Amino acid sequence: MTQSLKEKILEKFIHQTKPLSGTQLAQEFQVSRNAIWKTIQNLNQSGYQIQAKKGSGYLLESLKREIDPLQISIHTKDSFLKPVIFHKEIVSSTNDWAKEYSFKANFQNALFIADQQTEGRGRYGNSFYSQLENGLYFSLLLKADPIIHQKLDYLTMIAALTLTKTLNPYLDTSLKIKWVNDLFYQGKKIAGILTEANFNLESQELTSVIVGIGLNLSGSFPPQNEGALSFAGTLFKKSLPKDFSKNQFLSQFLHQFCYELTRETKLILKDYEALLMGKGCIINFQHGSTHYQGTLLGIDEKGHLKVRLINNQIITLSSGQVHLGSQQFYQLDN
Ligand code: BTN
C-alpha cells in the first residue's frame, strides 16, 4: 500500500531525534514546502506535537496518546502480517466489524480497535463487559494463508501467549493463563480471547480467522454487574500509568504475534504451559452435562488439557468439549 504524505512525514519524525527543516522534507518527498507545512499543521491538529525550532526546523515533541492507526501502522509496516489498522470509539463488536470487512473482495489482514463495545461477545454465548474507562477491544482479521492453516488450532493459545509476553514487562507480577483463552492477573480475569473462523459457504473452505481480544486495562466495573463480573479485574486498577501507551502496546503485540506464529508449535506450547494456571491442582469441570473433578496435569502436543481423574485415569480435553469455571481459579491464585 502506498503511504500518504502524512504517514511519510510522521515516520520520518518518529525515527529522528534532531529537528528536520521544511526544505529538507520538501526535497525528500518531492512536494512544496507549503505542502509540508500544511501536513505538519494537520498532524498537530490531530494530537501530535511538532514544534518549529528557531533556525533548525521541526521537531516531534510528543506523539498522540489516544489510539492512533497511523502510529501503529508505521510501527508494524515491516511485520509480515502488515495489517491495515482501523479505529472507532464505539462499535457493537470488533469481531463483527472484522467479519463484515472480510466480506469485501480482496480484503487484507486488518486490525479493528475500539474503545468501547455495546455487544462485546465472549465464548459460550457469554457477553463481555466492554465499557471500562480504559478497556481495549481489538480483533485481528487474518487471511487464511498457509501459515494460518498450519497454526489454526493454536491461534487462541498464540494470542494468549502473545498478550502475556507483551504485557508482563509492564507488570509487577506475572500474568497467568487459564486454559484456553483467559488471562488472569492477581487472581482476577483481565482479558479474554474469542477466535472465530469464516468459511466460504459454497466451497466450505476457510477464508479468514478473527482473533478478538478484550483487555481490561483500568477502570471500575458498574455495581449492577458485580455478580457476573466478580471475577473480573483490571491490570492497572483505577487509572492507566502515564508511561503506558496503547499504540505502543498494540504495535508490540502485533510484532510478538508475528513472531509466535512462525515458531515451532512445540515451543509455543512449552511457553504456554509454563504460564498455565492451576497445574498440579484439583479442578472441577463440566464435560457435556456431567461434572468431573481431577488434577490438572498440563497440556498435550495438541494443546489439549490433560487431567488425571480421581480413578487415576488420564483424559485429554479439547477446548470445545469442556468448560472450566473461573471461580476456582480465583481461589487458586490467591
Ligand atoms: C471470553 O472471555 O470468553 C472472550 C472474550 C473476548 C472479547 C473480545 S473484545 C474484542 C472482540 N469483540 C468481541 O465481541 N469479543 C472479542
| Residue 230, pLDDT score | 73
- 256: closest CA among 76, 61, 103, 19? 76
For the chain, the domains span 5-62, 69-275, 281-331
What does DSSP say about strands 57-62 and 49-53: parallel, antiparallel, or unpaired? antiparallel
pLDDT recorded at residue 333: 61
Looking up cell 533548525 gives: 56
What is the predicted pLDDT for the residue at 326?
A: 76
Give the number of the atom of ligand 1 that is nearest the alpha carbon of residue 182: 2
Q: Which of 208, 260, 251, 279 is nearest to 76 (CA)?
A: 251
- CATH for 281-331 is 2.30.30.100
**Helices 246-261 + 69-76 axis angle, to 10:** 30
Report the distance separating Cα 108 and Cα 80, nearest Å: 12
Residue 246 to residue 67: CA distance in whole angstroms: 6
| CA–centroid distance, residue 180 to ligand 1 (Å) | 13
Q: What is the spatial distance between Cα 131 and Cα 116, in angstroms, rounded to a whole number?
A: 5
pLDDT profile of the chain (334 residues), mean per 10: 88 93 96 96 96 92 95 94 97 98 96 98 94 97 98 98 97 95 94 97 96 96 71 90 95 98 98 96 89 95 96 93 78 61
Locate the ligand 1 atom nearest the alpha carbon of residue 121 and give its number: 14
Which option is the CATH number for 69-275: 3.40.50.1100, 3.40.630.30, 3.30.930.10, 3.40.50.920? 3.30.930.10
pLDDT of residue 227: 55
List CB contacts of 34: < 8 A, sequence separation 6 or more.
none
Using the 8-state DSSP alphabet, how is residue 3 labeled?
P
> How many C-beta atoms lie closer than 10 Å to residue 95's C-beta?
27
Question: Would you say the pTM of this structure is higher than 0.75?
Answer: yes
Question: Is the Cβ–Cβ distance between 165 and 275 less than 8 Å?
Answer: no
Show Cβ contacts of residue 154 under 8 Å, excluding neighbours closer than 6 positions.
265, 268, 269, 303
CATH of range 5-62; options 1.10.10.10, 3.20.20.210, 1.20.1250.20, 3.40.50.2300 = 1.10.10.10
What is the distance in A from the centroid of ligand 1 to the CA of 269?
A: 22
Are β-strands 290-299 and 282-287 bridged in parallel, bridged antiparallel, or unpaired? antiparallel
- For ligand 1, the distance from its centroid to the CA atom of residue 141, given in whole angstroms, is 14
Q: Which of 95, 101, 113 to mutate to test the pocket of ligand 1 (most atoms within 8 A of CB)?
A: 95
